[in-house]
Amino acid sequence: MYSRCFLLTILLTCCGITSLHAQLGFCGGNSGDPIFTEDFGSGTTDGPALPAGTTTYRFTTGTPNDGDYTISSTSNYFDWLSIQDHTPGDSNGKSFIVNASFTAGEFYQREVTGLCENTTYEFSSWLINLQPTGSCEGNSIPVNVRFQIWDETDTNLLAQGDTGSIPGTGSTQWNQYALVFKTEPGQTSVILKMRNNSNGGCGNDLAIDDILFKSCGDNINVSSGANEQSLVVCENQGGVSRTLTVTPDFSIFSTHAYQWQQSTDQQNWTDIPGETGDTLSTPAVTSTTYFRVKTSEDPINVNNDLCNVVSDVFDIIVLPVPNAPTSAGDVIICEGELGTLTATTQNSYSINWYDAPTGGNLILAENQNLEIGIAGTYYAESNSNEIECASITRTAVTLTVNPLPLIPDDVSTFICEDSFITLDAAVDKVTYQWSTGATTKLIDITEPGEYSVTVTNTNGCSESRNFFVEQIDLPRIDRIESDGPSIIVSTINEGNFEYSLDGISFQSNPIFEAVKGGFYTIYVQDNTNCGVVTEDFYHLVIPKFFTPNGDAVNDVFEPDGLEIFNSVTISIFDRYGKLIKFGNTNSASWDGTFQGERLPEDDYWYLIEADSVQFKGHFSLKR
């Protein structure tokens, strides 16, 4: 074992390749199509074993122990992660599952043939650490793989690089690693080797999938003289042509050989005879055509797809003139609404709206729906979103705006308490829908509130009218009282009330002045003629004072109005409650004396009993 390692060290040193212990990396330029692929197949049965000489590890169809491998669609061994293979679209896809040996060393090699001499390649593979986080009591050995590319004699190491430590993270995400190398003159095959840099034990368990070889070359840009990277034109512009120029970045190649190609679908490419320079004058293009250039470092390899790379593609997209849009139909709306006019066109085209069949003003761009409320005919045009490539004609779509029913203004009105009123929609030759559910022109209501009616004309257009109905309450008399010769009427509720003593002549003032004593009927009504309430009242005019001084003016205290009663008694008391006067219907006045003596100025109290009614109060005697 020592002698073999010593010999390899000597070989590496003699070949001047000790600097090849480098990190992995991807092609810095353009890659060609894969020229070699190993995806390890698919199926539910483990295997088959790799060809003899590919690995020194033992093949197993069971659980792989240290130094074992399997080819399987499952990784459900030990406490390993359960993963799917990397190959996109695989059903039960398999991968190369390795339980590393206790001793670091090579575990995979195979020869890759059919390469081109003096050509740079990218080798890549997808790897994943199968150990979950925290395995091996946190001491899991990380995966660390070295990729090597040897010449076909297995004596000259062309390139190598290490993945570095790939710890167990518990993630089922595959990661890709790559190595770039270059074949030598006359060399058409290489040997790929994978080595395990870590000793086995608890950890260092991995899966490998999708081993690829691709040619690697410069990033190659193709542009026109106007620095265009692509071109979009309308077919009515006629044939267009461009002079295309190749610009490599010299990241890989030091020299360049070219072959121009063209395609109509970017799948099938054909060489353009004689076009091997770094420029191409395209023919007049009348339908979509794609151009690219194959490139190699050596002219002998330019037409070998195992050796060349391809440039970016220069697109000349020729858009066909679209057909006129298809209308979804004319639209009818009612005044005050917005109508939506709709037109459709082919995919990748949009709709522009105009106010004229040709020319005119652009109303709305890039929208198949035009929302508008103004009657008229509008015109839809198909056009490209990229360039001006419009339909030859426009499609007319008409918006008709029907008038609303003419209705009177909203109404504020009133309803008398315990009565009804009739609401009138006041529009003929329409249908009616009241907020009460009624469908007639007229409705009777008995309650205050807000009411509405929606009227709809023969065009199906509707308008609403509102009625605000307030209730007028009847007056409610609280009390009626005499204040000297005046009668005062008070109500419980408020309103525009009018008052009367005869039911004919009404006044707004609730006080009747200078009214002769007697029996009266008091009338109270609202001035809206919602009804009248009445109440009978005995009006007794009792002086507030009298002046018995012999001047024949107000010399006697004598209530007015007692004559309407059948039986009357009157008692007068001083402030101490002493009865100083008692009289009846025939003697209901007092002259201010007691037993012939003039009484002093003071307040005196009276009690009048008239039939079944009592009147109490006080008055003043003044001298």
pLDDT tens readout for residues 258-316: 999 999 999 999 999 999 999 999 999 999 999 999 999 888 889 888 888 999 999 99
**Alpha carbon distance 412, 410 (integer Å):** 7
The reported pLDDT for the residue numbered 23 is: 63
CATH of 477-539, one of 1.20.120, 3.40.50, 2.60.40, 3.90.1750: 2.60.40
Helix (H) or strand (E) holding 10: helix 2-14
The amino acid sitting at 234 is: C
The reported pLDDT for the residue numbered 550 is: 87
What average pLDDT does this structure show over 202-216? 93
The dihedral over CA atoms of 270, 272, 277, 278, expressed in degrees to the nearest 10, equals -60
The pLDDT-based confidence of 6 (bands split at 50, 70, 90) is: very low
The residue among 42, 69, 394 whose CA lies nearest residue 200 is 69
Helix (H) or strand (E) holding 23: strand 21-23
**Alpha carbon distance 591, 569 (integer Å):** 16
Q: Return the CATH architecture of domain 15-217.
A: Sandwich (2.60)
The domain spans of the chain are 15-217, 220-319, 326-402, 411-472, 477-539, 545-621
CATH class entry, domain 411-472? mainly beta
The residue among 268, 247, 375, 389 whose CA lies nearest residue 320 is 389
Q: Would you call 61 helix, strand, or coil by DSSP? A: coil
**Alpha carbon distance 516, 538 (integer Å):** 11
Tell me which CATH code domain 326-402 carries.
2.60.40.10
What average pLDDT does this structure show over 507-532? 94
Average pLDDT, the chain: 91
| pLDDT higher than 70, residue 14 | no
The reported pLDDT for the residue numbered 584 is: 92
| pLDDT higher than 90, residue 571 | yes
Provide the residue count of the chain. Answer: 623
Q: Both tokens of residue 37? A: 């692929």
Q: Both tokens of residue 386? A: 């990229």
**Alpha carbon distance 552, 554 (integer Å):** 7
Bigger pLDDT: 613 or 31? 613
What average pLDDT does this structure show over 188-206? 92
The reported pLDDT for the residue numbered 288 is: 96
pLDDT tens readout for residues 96-149: 999 999 999 999 999 999 888 888 899 999 999 999 998 998 899 999 999 999
Tell me which CATH code domain 545-621 carries.
2.60.40
Tell me which CATH code domain 220-319 carries.
2.60.40.10
Residue with the two structure tokens 């000790």: 18
pTM above 0.75, yes or no: no
pLDDT tens readout for residues 320-331: 999 999 999 999
pLDDT tens readout for residues 406-433: 999 999 999 999 999 999 999 999 999 9
The pLDDT-based confidence of 28 (bands split at 50, 70, 90) is: confident
CA 305 to centroid of chain Cα atoms: 51
Check if 15-217 and 411-472 are the same fold.
Answer: no
| Paired sense of beta strands 289-296 and 309-310, if any | antiparallel
